[in-house]
Structure 1
Amino acid sequence: MDRSQLLKGLLDIIVLRVLDDEDGYGYEILGRLRRAGFDELGDASVYGTLRRLYRAGHLSTYVLPSESGPHRKYYALTEPGRKHLRHMRDAWEDVSAKMRHLLDAPTKG
């Protein structure tokens, strides 16, 4: 399986987690993701995820002026977004623990 396909399935939890600490605008969110090691996530995928999470009510937006160009649209987690992140995190912990157990189990050969 291509790693990028696995990451596409995790984009919601990745983006929500990045915004859980601090609001951010698109380019800045991409920078946080890159610093976290998610270099292979495409810009279009991240921006599309932001729009989808906004439409689903998990994010809100607000606009602030920028000293270095046009106004910036910031994204912030809503309370439903925080709840969704908690549910996704619980699901991740469950699946991750099961995968760790499966991968660490001795193989019969």
Structure 2
Amino acid sequence: MISSQMLKGMLEGCVLKIIAEHETYGYEISQKLITYGFGDISEGTIYPMLLRMSNKGFIQAEYRESSTGPRRKYFSLTNQGEEELKEFERQWKELSQAVTNLFDGTSSE
């Protein structure tokens, strides 16, 4: 299981990636994270994060009827969210490569 401290800095970018794949809602996001190996991320973590990302202008929400219960709030990326996701991916690749270099004993110089 990935520690919550490690997840803190990465989770927002990962949620942006999930939303970029298709419009989705909070519970589905948490289930996707589980299938990718993130462990059980509580809805108490997901929903406040979605609100923060909405307030930052990264995502937008739309309520839709559900065939299995109450209306659901579906999220999609804004243009600003797409840019944020690209920046997250760039930074992640740089960090990932640096950690790989460190553990492989490979210098980037």
Secondary structure in 1 matching 2:64: strand
Deviation at 1:40, TM superposition (A): 3.5
Q: What is the distance in 1 between the residues matched to 2:8 and 2:30?
A: 15
Q: What is the distance in 2 between the residues matched to 1:66 and 1:19?
A: 18
Secondary structure in 2 matching 1:24: coil
1:48 aligns with 2:21: no
Q: What is the distance in 2 between the residues matched to 1:40 and 1:66?
A: 24
- Specify the alignment match of 1:100 in structure 2: 100
- Specify the alignment match of 1:68 in structure 2: 68
4+ runs deviating over 3 angstroms: none
Bigger Cα displacement from structure 2, 48-57 vs 31-40: 31-40
Deviation at 1:16, TM superposition (A): 0.4
| Structure 1 vs Structure 2 CA RMSD | 1.4
Q: Which amino acid aligns with 2:64?
A: L
Deviation at 1:78, TM superposition (A): 0.6
Q: What is the distance in 2 between the residues matched to 1:23 and 1:74?
A: 6
- Specify the alignment match of 1:59 in structure 2: 59
Structure scoring higher RCO (CA < 8 A, sep ≥ 6) equals 1
Deviation at 1:42, TM superposition (A): 2.3
Q: TM-score, normalised by structure 1?
A: 0.90
Does the aligned pair in 2 maintain the 1:7–1:41 contact within 8 Å? Answer: no
Q: What is the distance in 2 between the residues matched to 1:20 and 1:67?
A: 23
Secondary structure in 2 matching 1:71: strand
Q: Map of 1:1-109 to 2, 5 A cutoff?
A: 3-105=3-105
Bigger Cα displacement from structure 2, 31-40 vs 88-97: 31-40
Q: TM-score, normalised by structure 2?
A: 0.90
Q: What is the distance in 2 between the residues matched to 1:33 and 1:52?
A: 18
Q: What is the distance in 1 between the residues matched to 2:36 and 2:101?
A: 26
- What's the % identity of the aligned pairs? 32
